[in-house]
Structure 1
């Protein structure tokens, strides 16, 4: 019609000059209604985008044809009737959040084929008909969060093959129908957190081949079975925080690309040892604020790709079962929270897990520290069962062909008190030994300090006395030798008959005299 009017104007302009006036009037008369209807009173217009926000509107503005974007946020709309948006065929986005909408009729969005983004959050919608989104096959993003949705129709999202983001947070949804997302093959982000889900069907998420992030936090799930997510081959992040999960299992043997798993704030007491074998690329794991007492060594062996883990606020049992976890944490090179505290036994309560392991030598003793001196036969078939605090023994006389039974003396102390007593005994013994060693060292130092100089003087005096005695002995020996020395005679006979001359005292002799002595013949 506009092109026809322009053609007539050109014809009049070329043939008859008075036609110019008529043509100009016709154009202005044609454009005037559009200009007047393009931006309703109190609304803000930016080209073909219309913003009618926070105006307390109870009805849709009229004459909005040609608009590409419409925002009716923070108003008082209560219902969306069939055909209410007729004439907005150019619309690409529609914001209706923060109103009082409680009902949406099936054909309310009729002829809105170009709409890519629809926001209905923060309303009072309790139910959506099956064909609600069918007139909008080009939807990329839908936000239904913060409503009162209690159930989802099985075909509610049928035909939305281009949908990439879906928010349904903070509703009252109790069940996800099987294959409800089967047509949403382009969906990458799905948020069903803060609802009332108590269980998941195995094929609830069938068809979501491109889904990368799934939020199921703050629901009422009591069991997590990784077999519920078998076809989420592109999923990288799964959030199951703040549910009521007590057990984590996997009843299907398959491998997927999950990198982040959040199971914090649940009531998990048991995890199947092979659960994490299906997620070999897992990098971040949150298991804090649960009821775990220990981690199976097979689970620890499957945590090869982790770079971050959270294990705090659990009820860790710092007994022998904690050794595998302590060893793994000691060699772990990634990030982990340091607030891992022991809940049991009593003597280790409140202590850091690693500190308790090293302080109490929990992983060094091969014998249970609570067992000391218990009488029990070292045979496989024992007929005697000993209770805590009891002492009993049975006399057994072996037969002729039987070998005597060897008995080991062991007395089991009762419960945690025994462990406490053993630890106290170790501490006291070590302290006493240290004090005794210190006293011995001090005593040796004191005695040496007091007695060492006197000992030296005594040794020197003894040495001098000994020297004097030796000199005196030498002098006495010399004097004795001098007094005992006799004169000797050197006889030289003059003739050959010396023997007769000596007998008859005939001949000459010479006397050699010592000093101070006279010669005697």
Structure 2
């Protein structure tokens, strides 16, 4: 607008003398807000944007009317009093991070209805009143990271229907009140990582229908129940890294669109077999650095859409129960970490899981020890029988956060593989391989003889053929002699009278010829 006004003024100055007056009035009214407010000393002004950063200020600058953006970063402000920003009704963003603010009064941001971005990170705020954000209904982004917040008031975010991003990382928050985000229907990003959360209420995240990314890493959660996120229908990424989770369950049957889950760096020992059936679109899963000893086959069957998985740094038991996981990894076409090492039994410690399965023949058919057939695929389809449960177990208290109910204790014991059976099977397989090797040597000797002494073998074969022909000729001659010695007799009995008279009167003679027609001629 300034350049346009200057261009119009030049045009009038060159053509019409009255342009002097109009130009002067226009520039005067244009510069009037800046003249009234001025630019505070040592601050930097860019039009209606004011930057008073790293000046060690302990109080707010004066005469800031008309400012649309105010940055007071890296100063020494300690308190925000009621009505401290009165007169900044045009303000759209306010940066107050990296100060020493320890208290904020309830009406400190009064009349800042146009503010869309507020940053209060890296201060010493311990508590925020319920009415802190009430005067700013148009907020889109709020940053409260790196403070000393210990509790959140139940109605702290009431009325923030346009809020899309909320940062509360690195505070001392121990509990998330029920329905505290109920009005934040446009929120898409929520970060409550690096706090002291020990549990989650069932309806802590109620109302976040558009939330796509949730960060809860580096807290003190000891149990993850996917039923705590029932209404996060748009959630794509859930980060629970570096907590103290020992068990993962799901007490609610529902389906959601989660694509990425990070459970690494916890103490997970048990996961319910059906826990991942509610997330059929899961593509990335991190389970490394936990205490897993095996994966239930039902869990493996629910990992149909995975493209990336991390399972390293667990205490894998390379006994019979590892077969289902080994089979799944053999057929998995996505990315997974290759350093899956056995922790037990003793004879397989430090070995790669897949190498141990093949080296110690852990997944061969127990009914046929001489068989060298790999049964990994069969184990993957029907390996529920390979898991046994006994009272010598680890018990988990599955009490719900709200205390409404308590589920039964989960008892799990993994049966270790006997190394002596593996050694016996290994010996039998070795003997079988030796027998096959001997047979191959005999075949090789015959082949070499055929190639090196062809004449002798051919003469021997010719002798056998000649002897066989002579035997056939002798049999043929005996048959012909027997046929020539036989005589054929034919009785001639004429049927007509003349023939009979001739024979009676001895008129003529009757001769019988054997060949060719064997008929009697008179």
TM-score band (shorter)?
0.5 to 0.7
Q: 1 CA distance for matches of 2:287 and 2:222?
A: 15
CA deviation after TM superposition for structure 1 residue 33, in Å: 8.0
Which residues in structure 2 correspond to 1:235-384 (within 5 Å)?
235-366=235-366
Q: 2 CA distance for matches of 1:100 and 1:420?
A: 67
Counterpart for residue 97 of structure 1: 97
The TM-score normalised by the length of structure 1 is: 0.68
Q: 2 CA distance for matches of 1:274 and 1:297?
A: 10
Query: What is the DSSP-based 3-state SS (H/G/I as helix, E as strand, rest coil) of the residue aligned with 2:94?
Result: strand
CA deviation after TM superposition for structure 1 residue 354, in Å: 1.0
The 3 A distance-change label for structure 1 pair 29 and 277 is closer
Counterpart for residue 233 of structure 1: 233
Q: 1 CA distance for matches of 2:88 and 2:188?
A: 28
Query: What is the DSSP-based 3-state SS (H/G/I as helix, E as strand, rest coil) of the residue aligned with 1:354?
Result: helix
CA deviation vs aligned residue, 1:280-333 (integer Å, no higher than 9, x gap): 111111111111111111111111111111111111111111111111111111
Which residues in structure 2 correspond to 1:386-465 (within 5 Å)?
418=420, 422=424
CA deviation after TM superposition for structure 1 residue 28, in Å: 6.5
CA deviation after TM superposition for structure 1 residue 361, in Å: 1.2
CA deviation after TM superposition for structure 1 residue 357, in Å: 1.0
Counterpart for residue 53 of structure 1: 53
CA deviation vs aligned residue, 1:78-99 (integer Å, no higher than 9, x gap): 1111111111100000000011
Query: What is the DSSP-based 3-state SS (H/G/I as helix, E as strand, rest coil) of the residue aligned with 1:285?
Result: strand
Q: 2 CA distance for matches of 1:43 and 1:286?
A: 48
The 3 A distance-change label for structure 1 pair 94 and 419 is farther
Q: Does 1:139 align with 2:149?
A: no
CA deviation vs aligned residue, 1:178-233 (integer Å, no higher than 9, x gap): 00000000000000000000000000000000000000011000000000000001
Which residues in structure 2 correspond to 1:8-23 (within 5 Å)?
none
Counterpart for residue 114 of structure 1: 114
CA deviation vs aligned residue, 1:125-160 (integer Å, no higher than 9, x gap): 000000000000000000000000000000000000
**Alignment gaps of 5+ in structure 1:** 1-19, 370-413, 457-521
Q: Is the 8 A contact 2:109 2:133 kept in 1?
A: yes
CA deviation vs aligned residue, 1:371-418 (integer Å, no higher than 9, x gap): xxxxxxxxxxxxxxxxxxxxxxxxxxxxxxxxxxxxxxxxxxx98664
Question: In the comparison of the two structures, how many residue pairs are matched?
Answer: 388
CA deviation after TM superposition for structure 1 residue 428, in Å: 8.5
CA deviation after TM superposition for structure 1 residue 368, in Å: 11
The 3 A distance-change label for structure 1 pair 312 and 430 is farther
CA deviation after TM superposition for structure 1 residue 339, in Å: 1.2
Q: 2 CA distance for matches of 1:37 and 1:88?
A: 11
Counterpart for residue 180 of structure 2: 180
CA RMSD of aligned residues (A): 3.4
Q: 2 CA distance for matches of 1:131 and 1:34?
A: 33
Counterpart for residue 376 of structure 1: none
Query: What is the DSSP-based 3-state SS (H/G/I as helix, E as strand, rest coil) of the residue aligned with 1:347?
Result: helix
Counterpart for residue 224 of structure 2: 224
CA deviation after TM superposition for structure 1 residue 359, in Å: 1.4
Q: 1 CA distance for matches of 2:166 and 2:323?
A: 45
Deviates more, 1:418-427 or 1:180-189: 418-427
The 3 A distance-change label for structure 1 pair 250 and 65 is same
Q: 1 CA distance for matches of 2:113 and 2:61?
A: 20
Q: 2 CA distance for matches of 1:415 and 1:44?
A: 74
The 3 A distance-change label for structure 1 pair 89 and 306 is same
Counterpart for residue 156 of structure 1: 156
CA deviation after TM superposition for structure 1 residue 365, in Å: 3.5
CA deviation after TM superposition for structure 1 residue 335, in Å: 1.1
The 3 A distance-change label for structure 1 pair 79 and 426 is farther
User: Which structure's CA Rg is the greater one?
Assistant: 1
The 3 A distance-change label for structure 1 pair 421 and 37 is same
Query: What is the DSSP-based 3-state SS (H/G/I as helix, E as strand, rest coil) of the residue aligned with 1:275?
Result: coil
The 3 A distance-change label for structure 1 pair 242 and 29 is closer
Q: Is the 8 A contact 1:347 1:420 kept in 2?
A: no
Q: 1 CA distance for matches of 2:341 and 2:46?
A: 59
Q: Is the 8 A contact 1:346 1:416 kept in 2?
A: no
Deviates more, 1:218-227 or 1:422-431: 422-431
Q: 1 CA distance for matches of 2:303 and 2:78?
A: 52
Q: 2 CA distance for matches of 1:28 and 1:90?
A: 21
Query: What is the DSSP-based 3-state SS (H/G/I as helix, E as strand, rest coil) of the residue aligned with 2:322?
Result: helix
Counterpart for residue 192 of structure 1: 192
Q: 1 CA distance for matches of 2:281 and 2:319?
A: 31
Q: Is the 8 A contact 1:82 1:109 kept in 2?
A: yes
The 3 A distance-change label for structure 1 pair 325 and 415 is closer
Counterpart for residue 205 of structure 2: 205
Query: What is the DSSP-based 3-state SS (H/G/I as helix, E as strand, rest coil) of the residue aligned with 2:276?
Result: helix
Q: 2 CA distance for matches of 1:36 and 1:285?
A: 59
Q: 2 CA distance for matches of 1:81 and 1:426?
A: 85
